């Protein structure tokens, strides 16, 4: 590979402030034919999924494959998947910001955008999932004459609150970080575009007080967002851990889910960055070293989820609980051997084995390997939720009820549609807002001479 992967991750890009502005604002140039074709294709797929949803609403939830005893299926799996994806955005932007990990700077904007769009995608699924979507507003606590409130004891209610909080904070954090960059984009654009950017950046002029407030507020936001990294997926994991179903009722779930979420989120960041840096020609800013850093973290998270998988088996075997053992270690029904054995092995190999390949420097610095493995990790993470939700429900306490779950075309269509929706949002974002933080990249490079600043 011709790219300079020899350069360490901390080494600043050899660019001036001006070049940074030039290169990054260049990404906002009007899209070409390929860009708009992609946008239209994704929009079309998304609309097909919406039609499928409409069909489901009119005919009944029975058109999905979910059944008895598998009351939850692709919709909840995909919900948890997208919430998980949403995770590493805040991790990279807030937690690494607080730890002063400077390598995050070129990649964090992408990660944050991914977070916001992933939560927006995830948020659709509870609506798609419920039996009477026209009554879904009852899940929100709103004042009403009948004093009918949601049940705050329900983990689903915690979910509603946790996810909406997470969306609010991560959106504000994302948007806040964007303000100086929008201003920079404004400075380089004209006409209507300039006016819109001017409104979006709240008339940012780059005065000293602006910067002062910005820095302080950013730090505070980072502080607020950091606990959410842990809380959101912990709360999502409580949907399962708080239940009484073997395979769900596990105290290890919160850390296990958080690690898994970061695992999938990092993989998704890699998946997004690789085409982005190529299309936008910013390989000198988002360097292989940055991707390598992300890959190294996935080794760690992969080991954590691998440990979690293992410990579940150990506890099932050690506890002597027959119901747990049926889910995990039973040679006929257990996850690695039972009717869903393939999903277990997809999960285990994609999440735990493939990331280990990153131990080899050749693999983790190869763009092709990075791209393939990051996608495989996300496949594995989707199947992790499949394994947890489906195998636990399909073989629980009373054998008479056991049942096999097969997703229907409606569920698959909506699953694919959710990816279209996510990438559509991301495409629109990448062409209309700076997808790399100019502000923070500039912090990496040496301060310019006063002559240059004046420009």
Among 17, 46, 72, 257, binds other proteins (CB under 8 A): 72
**Whether 363 contacts 337, CB under 8 Å:** no
Question: Can you tell me which residue has the tokens 């292989």?
Answer: 288
Distances (CA, A) of 234 to 155, 220, 256, 337: 11, 22, 9, 29
Size of the site for other proteins (CB under 8 A): 54
Residue 191 contacts other proteins per CB under 8 A: no
**Whether 106 contacts 96, CB under 8 Å:** no
Report the alpha-carbon distance of residue 174 to residue 14 in Å, rounded.
Answer: 26
Report the alpha-carbon distance of residue 308 to residue 295 in Å, rounded.
Answer: 20
Rounded least distance, CB 143 to other proteins, Å = 15
Tokens of 275: 């085409």
Q: Which stretch binds other proteins (CB under 8 A): 116-124, 237-245, 293-301, 434-442?
A: 237-245
Nearest to 444 by CA among 278, 315, 287, 326: 287
Rounded least distance, CB 245 to other proteins, Å = 6
**Whether 38 contacts 376, CB under 8 Å:** no
Among 135, 362, 454, 455, binds other proteins (CB under 8 A): 135
**Whether 17 contacts 448, CB under 8 Å:** yes
Tokens of 75: 């919709």
239: left (phi over 0), alpha (psi -120 to 50) or beta: alpha
Radius of gyration of the chain (CA): 23
Among 102, 188, 249, 283, binds other proteins (CB under 8 A): 249
Residue 139 contacts other proteins per CB under 8 A: yes
Distances (CA, A) of 387 to 3, 62, 242, 383, 400: 39, 22, 18, 6, 21
**Whether 75 contacts 65, CB under 8 Å:** no
Among 362, 398, 454, 455, binds other proteins (CB under 8 A): 398
Question: Can you tell me which residue has the tokens 């960055």?
Answer: 273
Residue 326 contacts other proteins per CB under 8 A: yes
Rounded least distance, CB 63 to other proteins, Å = 8
Report the alpha-carbon distance of residue 396 to residue 156 in Å, rounded.
Answer: 21
Residue 110 contacts other proteins per CB under 8 A: no
**Whether 218 contacts 240, CB under 8 Å:** no
For other proteins, give the closer residue by CB, 112 or 396.
396
Residue 143 contacts other proteins per CB under 8 A: no
Q: Which stretch binds other proteins (CB under 8 A): 59-67, 173-181, 214-222, 304-312?
A: 59-67
Residue 252 contacts other proteins per CB under 8 A: no
Rounded least distance, CB 157 to other proteins, Å = 5
For other proteins, give the closer residue by CB, 181 or 239.
239
Question: Can you tell me which residue has the tokens 């690695």?
Answer: 336
Binding mask 16-55 for other proteins (x = CB under 8 A): ----------------------------------------
Rounded least distance, CB 114 to other proteins, Å = 27
Residue 412 contacts other proteins per CB under 8 A: no
Q: Which stretch binds other proteins (CB under 8 A): 126-134, 190-198, 281-289, 354-362?
A: 126-134
Residue 281 contacts other proteins per CB under 8 A: no
Residue 337 contacts other proteins per CB under 8 A: no
Q: Which parts of this chain interact with other proteins (CB under 8 A)? A: 59-62, 65-72, 126, 129-132, 135-136, 138-139, 148-151, 153-157, 160, 239, 242-245, 249, 319-323, 325-326, 393, 396-404
């Amino acid at each position: 590979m011709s790219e300079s992967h020899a350069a360490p991750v901390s080494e600043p890009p050899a660019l001036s402030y001006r070049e940074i502005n030039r290169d990054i604002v260049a990404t906002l140039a009007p899209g070409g034919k390929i860009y708009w074709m992609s946008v239209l294709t994704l929009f079309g797929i998304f609309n097909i999924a919406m039609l499928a949803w409409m069909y489901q609403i009119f005919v009944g939830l029975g058109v999905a494959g979910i059944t008895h005893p598998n009351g939850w299926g692709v919709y909840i799996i995909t919900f948890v998947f997208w919430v998980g994806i949403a995770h590493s955005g805040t991790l990279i932007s807030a937690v690494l910001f607080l730890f002063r990990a400077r390598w995050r700077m070129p990649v964090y904007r992408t990660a944050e955008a991914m977070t916001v769009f992933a939560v927006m995608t995830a948020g659709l699924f509870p609506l798609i999932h419920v039996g009477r979507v026209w009554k879904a507003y009852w899940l929100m606590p709103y004042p009403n004459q009948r004093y009918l409130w949601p049940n705050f004891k329900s983990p689903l209610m915690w979910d509603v609150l946790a996810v909406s909080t997470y969306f609010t904070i991560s959106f504000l954090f994302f948007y806040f970080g964007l303000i100086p960059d929008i201003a920079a984009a404004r400075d380089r654009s004209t006409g209507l575009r300039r006016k819109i950017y001017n409104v979006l950046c709240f008339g940012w002029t780059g005065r000293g007080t602006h910067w002062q407030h910005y820095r302080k507020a950013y730090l505070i936001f980072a502080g607020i967002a950091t606990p959410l990294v842990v809380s959101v997926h912990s709360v999502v994991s409580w949907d399962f851990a708080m239940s009484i179903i073997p395979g769900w009722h596990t105290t290890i779930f919160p850390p296990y889910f958080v690690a898994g979420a970061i695992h999938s989120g990092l993989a998704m960041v890699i998946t997004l960055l690789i085409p982005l840096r190529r299309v936008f020609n910013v390989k000198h800013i988002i360097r292989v070293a940055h991707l390598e850093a992300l890959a190294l973290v996935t080794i760690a998270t992969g080991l954590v989820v691998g440990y979690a998988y293992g410990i579940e088996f150990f506890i099932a075997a050690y506890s002597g609980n027959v119901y747990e053992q049926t889910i995990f270690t039973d040679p006929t029904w257990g996850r690695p051997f039972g009717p869903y054995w393939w999903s277990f092995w997809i999960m285990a190999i994609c999440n735990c084995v493939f990331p280990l390949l990153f131990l080899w420097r050749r693999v983790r610095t190869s763009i092709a390997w990075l791209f393939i493995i990051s996608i495989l990790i996300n496949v594995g993470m989707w199947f992790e939720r499949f394994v947890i939700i489906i195998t636990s429900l399909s073989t629980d306490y009373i054998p008479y009820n056991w049942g096999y779950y097969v997703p229907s075309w409606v569920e698959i269509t909506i699953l694919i549609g959710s990816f279209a929706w996510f990438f559509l949002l991301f495409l629109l974002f990448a062409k209309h807002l700076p997808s790399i933080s100019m502000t923070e990249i500039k912090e990496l490079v040496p301060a310019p001479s006063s002559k240059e600043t004046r420009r």
